[in-house]
Amino acid sequence: MESAEIARRFLRFFEERGHKIVPSASLIAEDPTLLLVNAGMVPFKPYFLGQRTPPASRLASVQKCVRTGDIEEVGKTTRHGTFFQMLGNFSIGDYFKEQAIPFAWELLTRSESDGGFGFPEEKLWVTVFENDDEAIEIWRKVGVPSERIQRRGLADNYWHMGVPGPGGPCSEIYYDRGPEHGRDGGPVADEDRYLEVWNNVFMQYSLSAVRSKVDFDVEGELPAKNIDTGMGLERMATILQGVDNLYEIDTTFKVLDRAAELTKTRYGRDQRADTSLRVIADHVRTGTMLVADGVAPSNEGRGYVLRRILRRSIRNLRLLGSGEERYMHDLTATTIAAMGDIYPELKTDAPQIHAVIDAEEASFLGTLRTGTAIFDVAVEETKRKSGTILSGDQAFQLHDTYGFPIDLTLEMAAEQGLKVDEEGFRRLMKEQRERAKADAKAKKTGNADVSVFGQLLEKAGKVDFLGYDTTTAESSVIGILVDGAAVPVADAGASVEIVLGRTPFYAEGGGQLADQGVIRTAGGVVEVVDVQSPLSGLVVHRGKVASGSIKLGDEVQAEVDVERRRAISRSHSATHMVHRAFKNYLGESAAQAGSENSPGRFRFDFTSAGAVSPSVLRDAEDEVNAILINDLQVNAFYTSQSEARAMGALAMFGEKYGDEVRVVEIGDYSRELCGGTHVHSSGQLGLVKILGEQSVGAGVRRVEALVGIDAFRFLAKESVLVAQLTEQLKARREELPERIEGIVTRLRNAEKDLEKLRSSQVLAIAGELAASARDLGGVSVVTHRAPDGTSPDDLRKLALDVRGRFPADRAAVVVIAGAPSDRPVVVAAVNEAGRTRGLKAGQLVGVAAKALGGGGGGKDDVAQGGGTRVESIDDALRQVGETIAGQLG
């Protein structure tokens, strides 16, 4: 029975019994404590907790889930996986044990021909909480003999959320796979032989204090008892398809089998290859589902989970011999085909899914090439010193400079029989994060301790923001900070942070820069240059007392710089419109990933696997400007988050919103969740000019654009520039691209000719250098300083050319150094006969590079390094010669 049919049967069974079928929630958890949905009941928690009203009292779903706690075990065992699907039926204050247990038993044991799963009754065992006699009695009534009902304690058969709230005993159903899988005795004896297939949770108590899984206080019974069940789809498929493990079920094995075919590997022959194939099959499936739900690869949060999963897949393909081949597109397509019957949206969104995964593969293959070379040098150095641990500094450099995730470094080190100083790595990472946090804190809070702001917030309460309706307002001073300390008064010249009871000033947020302006009192003026909200509800005005003084309790007139505000508002509205236009041309996967709205200019980051063509940029720009001409009204209103989503309002990826949200509409063209300020109608933007786009990370692109008078001035300057070019090149405007391309082509060809001439001059002395080699203990040694300006590539070619002129049976070492620019480079090459004498290019380069004030390394046959001291080149070559002489005795 295929996985899609298992899901259909489950949902149909419960729909026939009055359950409302709920589609799977996104893997992006609404619960702020979770990165990803990790259990089938997660989307239903608000109903169980009474925070939301459920759509019905009986519900059923097939929920996508991801768990990565045991990611290192994936592939090594046949039990661990990252993506799984949980079939569940739920009762919110409706039925309880007396119906939940018979439902489960009936569906499991009903024949396949009659819509059930056809489990033989004698193969099923159940466990119950140790004192849940009520559940035991119900199980006996449905036909389970007492000898196949086992009692278990809190650790196994009691469920709660880990926090105060609902909880209760649970009852699990197990399938006996037979004596070939383990010993007799039921689930308490062997959970490999007796496989859990279904768990019924009876939420009947309110827990007041939860200290651990087995240590909590029961406050009393819930007024309405709930049912939460879970049946693992992959686990069910394993049994119903007669396979040994979750990697061999239909939706996973199709990916595994395709990976084996692409890498010319046979599953089941080699343990190491099998491990890699299982990792690939599991992770590609997980990665595909995450991308489909809008997760983009990044270095933090759920984006890092995705990046880690995809990169483990790619690296295991390399371990199987994929080399530089890109197989992720093919494997993603296989996943979409395998999972598309259950999740049709995968087929619809296939182009966007491929785009994100393909971009991450391309990015990581480059990272692997660079990082692996550096890693190999670090391993060689560690082993040469008879060490067994890679230093935290080396691991941090691989992560920080070359993009190598620490888990990848750990895996590769283990394969080399080495460990990693994780503690040292974590310490360096912590120091880096603390520096970043300190920078951010300085930006948001100035020099003040956050606790000072907390006291101000407690004193003032939430500051009223009036800026949507006005740019001036009367208010009063309720807080003044100078150098981070609260003061009663600040005089002229003082840098201050001021808190008002209410304000028209917009605090930086949502990509919109802060307002500027002035705060006037009867006795002084403060020039406001920045506005921040260090704590939710608190608005802090930062600036300088320009004249007089300002005191606590002063009545003030707060005045926003109107022209600056209008220019920023134009940029913010333009960002919304460009966002909509990009979705129209690139698809819904072009989701906002960041923005900055400044006066007359904005930047907009969005998810995209590759560069956006100039034609698409031009079309999007034309569409936006056409909308401006229509002068659409801009409206803002508040509504619930669910209603906003129902009406199609766009939200920034990864942003957390409250239950009540503000929606900004630009006619019928654009609708987004937004707390920023905007124009009153689209015509006020005047003109939008997209300057271009570029990459700002794997799968993320950035567009920069000008708005209003800034856009007009840019086009005016561009027009003047074009006029000058037409005059100088004696060509019409439309001929300029072709004329300039011809000039650039001729220039490049001339540069290539010069480079060839330079290279031939360098290589012309190869024979002379070989002929002048010194003999050191039977080894021909050439050390030579090339003319300044010789490129690193030419230095390498020269070293290899000279080395190749010696007979194969003559040991030879060639070391060439030079200064391509203002930094020295050294290349060493040792032939096979020289390597048999114990001479290694990497070691010799290390000697020279150290003398040059730098570092380097490489393989035994050829290596390259460099430094900072050009004046030490001759000394470096001398030290190399002495090292060779010393090694040869």
CATH number at residue 791: 3.10.310.40
Question: Does one domain contain both 573 and 658?
Answer: yes
Helix, strand, coil percent content, the chain, rounded in steps of 5: 45, 25, 30
Would you say residue 670 has pLDDT above 90? yes
How far is Cα 57 from Cα 729, in angstroms, rounded to an integer? 77
Summarize the confidence of residues 481-494 as an average pLDDT: 91
Question: Does one domain contain both 193 and 64?
Answer: yes
Amino acid letter, 864: Q
Task: Indicate whether 423 belongs to any domain.
Answer: no
Question: Does one domain contain both 615 and 661?
Answer: yes
Which residue, among 532, 511, 462, 470, has the nearest Cα to 674 in the 3D structure?
511
Question: Does one domain contain both 92 and 241?
Answer: yes
CB 328 within 8 A of CB 313: yes
Q: Which residues are annotated as a binding site for Zn(2+)?
A: 572, 576, 674, 678
Would you say residue 608 has pLDDT above 50? yes
CATH number at residue 220: 3.30.930.10
Within 10 Å of residue 453's Cβ, how many Cβ atoms?
Answer: 23
Enumerate residues 6+ apart whose C-beta is below 8 A from 99: 91
Residue 51 has a pLDDT of 65
What is the 8-class DSSP label of residue 25? P
Would you say residue 367 has pLDDT above 80? no
Write out pLDDT tens, residues 593-605.
788 999 999 999 8
3-class DSSP state of 640: strand
Give the pLDDT band (50/70/90) at residue 394.
confident
Which residue, among 203, 206, 208, 207, has the nearest Cα to 225 in the 3D structure?
203
The two three-digit tokens of residue 106, written as one number: 């009936």
Q: Which residues are annotated as a binding site?
A: 572, 576, 674, 678
CB 319 within 8 A of CB 356: no
**What Cα–Cα distance (Å) separates residue 325 from each residue in 149, 178, 262, 322, 675?**
54, 43, 10, 5, 46
Residue 577 has a pLDDT of 96
* Residue that finishes a domain, picked among 514, 542, 560: 560
Give the pLDDT band (50/70/90) at residue 658.
low
Residue 391 has a pLDDT of 87
What is the 8-class DSSP label of residue 773? P
Summarize the confidence of residues 633-654 as an average pLDDT: 80
Task: Indicate whether 165 belongs to any domain.
Answer: yes
The two three-digit tokens of residue 778, written as one number: 């039977």
**285/444: higher pLDDT:** 285
Question: Does one domain contain both 42 and 30?
Answer: yes
Tokens 């819904």 correspond to 588
**54/108: higher pLDDT:** 108
**Residue 128 belongs to what domain range?**
3-248
How far is Cα 43 from Cα 451, in angstroms, rounded to an integer? 35
The pLDDT > 70 percentage for the chain reads 94
Summarize the confidence of residues 404-430 as an average pLDDT: 82
The two three-digit tokens of residue 61, written as one number: 């779903």
3-class DSSP state of 611: coil
736-763 vs 792-804: helix axis angle to the nearest 10? 40
Write out pLDDT tens, residues 55-90.
899 999 999 999 988 787 888 877 788 999 999 999
Question: Does one domain contain both 531 and 621?
Answer: no
Within 10 Å of residue 155's Cβ, how many Cβ atoms?
Answer: 9
Question: Does one domain contain both 11 and 94?
Answer: yes
The pLDDT > 90 percentage for the chain reads 51
* Residue that finishes a domain, picked among 682, 701, 716: 716
CB 281 within 8 A of CB 113: no
Report the number of distinct structural domains present in the chain. Answer: 5
Query: For the ranges 126-140, 438-452, 745-759, 771-785, which has the lowest average pLDDT?
Result: 438-452
Provide the β-strand partners of residue 781. 774, 813
Distance from the Cα of residue 795 to its chain's centroid: 40
Give the pLDDT band (50/70/90) at residue 293.
confident
The two three-digit tokens of residue 206, written as one number: 């309110």
Residue 762 has a pLDDT of 67
Question: Does one domain contain both 57 and 120?
Answer: yes
How far is Cα 179 from Cα 177, in angstroms, rounded to an integer? 7
Helix residue spans in 293-349 (DSSP H): 301-319, 328-339, 345-348
CATH number at residue 576: 3.30.980.10
Best-predicted range by mean pLDDT among 313-327, 376-390, 464-478, 742-756?
464-478
Give the pLDDT band (50/70/90) at residue 104.
very high
Residue 447 has a pLDDT of 45
C-alpha radius of gyration, the chain, whole number:
34
Distance from the Cα of residue 714 to its chain's centroid: 36
Give the pLDDT band (50/70/90) at residue 16.
very high
Provide the β-strand partners of residue 485. 482
Residue 710 has a pLDDT of 93
CB 7 within 8 A of CB 341: no
* Residue that finishes a domain, picked among 560, 593, 615: 560
The CA angle 239-243-248, to the nearest 5 degrees, is 115
CB 453 within 8 A of CB 541: no
Question: Does one domain contain both 221 and 286?
Answer: no
How far is Cα 417 from Cα 281, in angstroms, rounded to an integer? 26
Residue 449 has a pLDDT of 52
Task: Indicate whether 420 belongs to any domain.
Answer: no
Would you say residue 624 has pLDDT above 50? yes
Summarize the confidence of residues 247-261 as an average pLDDT: 94
Query: For the ranges 170-184, 261-275, 460-474, 759-773, which has the lowest average pLDDT?
Result: 759-773
The region that residue 31 occupies, defined by phi over 0 for left and psi between -120 and 50 for alpha, beta otherwise, is beta
What is the 8-class DSSP label of residue 32? T
Tokens 């904005």 correspond to 602
Residue 170 has a pLDDT of 95
Enumerate residues 6+ apart whose C-beta is below 8 A from 427: 392
Summarize the confidence of residues 555-560 as an average pLDDT: 96
Q: 592-601 burial string, b = 16+ CB within 10 Å, else e?
A: bbebbbbbbb
Residue 263 has a pLDDT of 93
Give the pairing of strands 540-551 and 489-491. Answer: antiparallel
Residue 385 has a pLDDT of 79
Task: Indicate whether 157 belongs to any domain.
Answer: yes
Task: Indicate whether 417 belongs to any domain.
Answer: no
The pair phi, psi for residue 166, each rounded to 5°, is -70, 150
Task: Indicate whether 629 belongs to any domain.
Answer: yes
CATH number at residue 555: 2.40.30.130
Would you say residue 396 has pLDDT above 90? no
The pair phi, psi for residue 429, each rounded to 5°, is -65, -40
Residue 857 has a pLDDT of 65
Within 10 Å of residue 450's Cβ, how many Cβ atoms?
Answer: 11
133-142 vs 97-109: helix axis angle to the nearest 10? 40
How far is Cα 151 from Cα 148, in angstroms, rounded to an integer? 10
Within 10 Å of residue 113's Cβ, how many Cβ atoms?
Answer: 7
3-class DSSP state of 126: strand
Would you say residue 325 has pLDDT above 60? yes
Question: Does one domain contain both 120 and 134?
Answer: yes
Within 10 Å of residue 416's Cβ, how many Cβ atoms?
Answer: 15
Which residue, among 889, 866, 883, 876, has the nearest Cα to 813 in the 3D structure?
883
Within 10 Å of residue 614's Cβ, how many Cβ atoms?
Answer: 11
DSSP 817-883: EE-SSSS-EEEEEE-HHHHHTT--HHHHHHHHHHHTT-EEEE-SSEEEEE-S-GGGHHHHHHHHHHH
CB 505 within 8 A of CB 424: no
CB 632 within 8 A of CB 666: yes
DSSP 534-599: SSTT--EEEEEEEEEEEETT-EEEEEE-HHHHHHHHHHHHHHHHHHHHHHHHH-TT--EEEEEEET
Task: Indicate whether 406 belongs to any domain.
Answer: no
How far is Cα 376 from Cα 383, in angstroms, rounded to an integer? 11
Average pLDDT in the chain = 88
Task: Indicate whether 618 belongs to any domain.
Answer: yes
Question: Does one domain contain both 824 and 856?
Answer: yes
Query: For the ranges 187-191, 421-425, 518-522, which has the lowest average pLDDT?
Result: 421-425
Residue 537 has a pLDDT of 83
Question: Does one domain contain both 604 and 569?
Answer: yes
Within 10 Å of residue 367's Cβ, how many Cβ atoms?
Answer: 18
Summarize the confidence of residues 473-489 as an average pLDDT: 91
How far is Cα 412 from Cα 12, in angstroms, rounded to an integer? 47
Would you say residue 559 has pLDDT above 90? yes
